[in-house]
Each structure stands twice: as C-alpha cells, then as structure tokens.
Amino acid sequence: MPTAPADSEYGTTLVPTVTPFSNGSVDAEAVADLASFTLEHGADGLIPCGTTGEFASLSLDEYETVVSASVDAADGAPVLPGAGHSSVAGTLERIEIAADCGADAVLVVLPYFHGENGPGGNERFIRAVLAETDLPLILYNIPSCVGQSIDADLVEAVADHPDLAGMKDTSGDLTHLLEIIRRTGEDFHLFQGWDSQLVPAVSMGATGGINAVSNYFPGVMSEAIGAAAANDIDRARDLQLNHVAPLFNISLEYGFAPTTKSVLVERGVIDDDAVRPPLVELDAEQRAAVADVVDATLGIAAE
C-alpha cells in the first residue's frame, strides 16, 4: 500500500509562478493577478522567484517587488520564494528580503558557479545559511541548472536541522528522490519538481509537487496529487499520463518560463509573454503547438 504524503503546513500543490513583465519591467499587478488565479483554481501556495520565475534575471529591487506582491495577493496562503544565489551572502540577502515581505519559507540552491572542491563543501554552504536565519529553508535540487546534485548523504546529514523543512527535487531521478524519502523523517517534506514523475513520487510518499504546469492548471496538479495519495490508481494514472505528462514534455522542449507564459496569455491570465535574455519568447509555430497540446489534453477552459 503506498504511503500517503506527509501533512505539510505549506500544502501539497505549490506553484512556481512566472514573473510577468511589461515594457521591460516587472508587472506587479500581473504578479498579483497570477497569484490570485492559481490560488483560486486549486493551488495551496506560491513559489515566486524560482526557475520558472526567472529569478537569475531579476535585480534585488525586482525580487522584492515580486515577493511583496505575491505575499499581499496570497492573503495568508503560504508563499515560499526562491532565494537562489551562488554565495552565502547573496542567499542570505534574499532571505532577509523575503522575511521582511512576510514569506513563510524560502527555497535555496547549491552554488551554481563554484562547486565544492572536496567533501563537505556543500554541507558547509547549507549550514552557513541555516546558521544565519530562522526562516524555514527548503533545499532545491536542480542539477541541470546548478551543475551538481544535492546527494542523499548530504540531505541525511542536515535533515534534522530544525529550520530545514524539506526539499524540492527536480533531478528527474526518481530513484534519488525515493532514497531521500527513505532516509528522512515524516517532518521532512519532499516535493517533486519533475512533473512527469509527480504521481509515482506522491504514491511513494512525497508530500506533493512544485510544478511549472500548475501555473495554468493548478486544479489538475492538485487532483493528481490527491488521487495518488488516496491510492486512486486509475484516476492518478489517467491524469499523469494523459494530462500532466504531455504538458510537461512540451514545456521541457520549449522552455518552462516561455511556454508557461504563452499558455497564460492564451488563457487571458496575463497580457504579456515577454521573457528576459537569454530566454526567448515562443514563435507563432511553437505557440500553436503548445495550444494544440493544451486543447488535446485538457481544453483551454479546464481548471
């Protein structure tokens, strides 16, 4: 019998929201509108300024604008901004801003320029961040962007820290995620970030998902998580194979932020699909291909 996901004060369906731009600047009103849309349509909480939110292309002032607008629009729902940076000081600077804005927790990546040159370097980095803040941290494992993975030994070494709440795993390695589930306790929340493995991960005890597709169809992601947790295998399989996977695959092909913004414009949630270099917007042919997948899997009016 699959293990149900652990209860989480952050919920199970968390949305790594895009950052809408208008005339080259962050559109705070559109940030708030997107936050309200996702929460009204099945999401439990928000993850602004993550990978899909183009965090590495935001200034500190823009980071504060996005986090503040998200917290205000969330109206008490959990908000867990990304606080990724390649230094301890830069990470802490973003955590301080997030805390001042009223965030509930933050996501932290390993340094994405200098990797550890010997055993213990990554643990030293994480513990240095934990030592300087009381805001709960969620590790964010995304080796395709960072260049290194948060291995199971490291997670096990730091998992009992009172301010470490869990991890988002976007490695695409289900075996790796399951090993971390096996080595950590019920209070350590594992979120699947690789959408095409959402149902298998939750069926094996992951808390839930932090998935780009949930920007525009949060209700579907929430239903898939719920079905997997309830051992409703037929419904969970249908949602995973016929709905979540096709949307994830085309987002992976064209890029998560550009594809997500294209769908959100099509759905009338935001007005502008602009992304910042080096990302580029989808062309007409790509937008049509994405729209065809959306229509084929869910229909444009799906929740």
Which residues are catalytically annotated?
A: 140, 168
- 138 annotated as a binding-site residue: no
Distance CA 131, CA 152 (A): 21
Helix (H) / strand (E) element for 174: namely helix 174-183
- Say which residues have a Cβ less than 8 Å from residue 5's Cβ, sequence separation at least 6: 12, 202, 205, 206, 207, 208, 225, 229
Compute φ and ψ for 208, nearest 5 degrees: 175, -150
Which of 29, 109, 21, 40 is CA-nearest to residue 70?
29
Compute φ and ψ for 13, nearest 5 degrees: -115, 100
Distance CA 293, CA 107 (A): 30
- 52 annotated as a binding-site residue: yes
Burial string for 250-272 (b: 16+ CB within 10 Å, else e) reads bbeebbbbbbbbbbbbbbebbee
Give CA separation, 189 vs 75, 96, 209, in Å: 23, 23, 10
Q: Between helices 284-297 and 245-254, what is the axis angle to 10°?
A: 170
Residue positions forming the annotated binding site: 52, 210
Residue positions forming the annotated binding site for pyruvate: 52, 210
